Amino acid sequence: SQQGEEDPQALSIQEGENATMNCSYKTSINNLQWYRQNSGRGLVHLILIRSNEREKHSGRLRVTLDTSKKSSSLLITASRAADTASYFCATERIQGAQKLVFGQGTRLTINP
């Protein structure tokens, strides 16, 4: 099964609202990363959070990590139409380092 499981699978909100996506995983990790994929394009790295970190910010993005619950969340504040994309979490396991295991992704739609 997938290491990362995103929730929800699809999310549709109005422009200006905040969007929250969740990710759960099963095994111990070195870090967790979030990526964005626009339709027909490759994935773009957004943010990396290490296993000893609990929260990280980058612009309008806020990521939290709870290693006790093996879960992470990605918050996008003040959403824009350009944020419409699929968002993936990916985990780098302690064993099998350097390779990432991706979840199925959350399809985010921002309505103008």
Partner 1 sequence: DAGVIQSPRHEVTEMGQEVTLRCKPISGHDYLFWYRQTMMRGLELLIYFNNNVPIDDSGMPEDRFSAKMPNASFSTLKIQPSEPRDSAVYFCASRPTGNEQFFGPGTRLTVL
Q: Which residues form the interface with partner 1 (CB under 8 A)?
A: 2, 33, 35, 41-45, 48, 88, 96, 98-105
Pick 33 or 79: Cβ nearer partner 1: 33
Separation of alpha carbons 23 and 6, rounded Å: 4
Helix (H) or strand (E) holding 36, with range, is strand 29-37
Query: Which two tokens mark 5?
Result: 């499981």
Minimum distance of partner 1 from residue 102's CB (angstroms): 4
Pick 16 or 96: Cβ nearer partner 1: 96
Minimum distance of partner 1 from residue 61's CB (angstroms): 14
Pick 68 or 99: Cβ nearer partner 1: 99
Q: Which of 66, 70, 42 is nearest to 56 (CA)?
A: 66
Separation of alpha carbons 62 and 74, rounded Å: 6
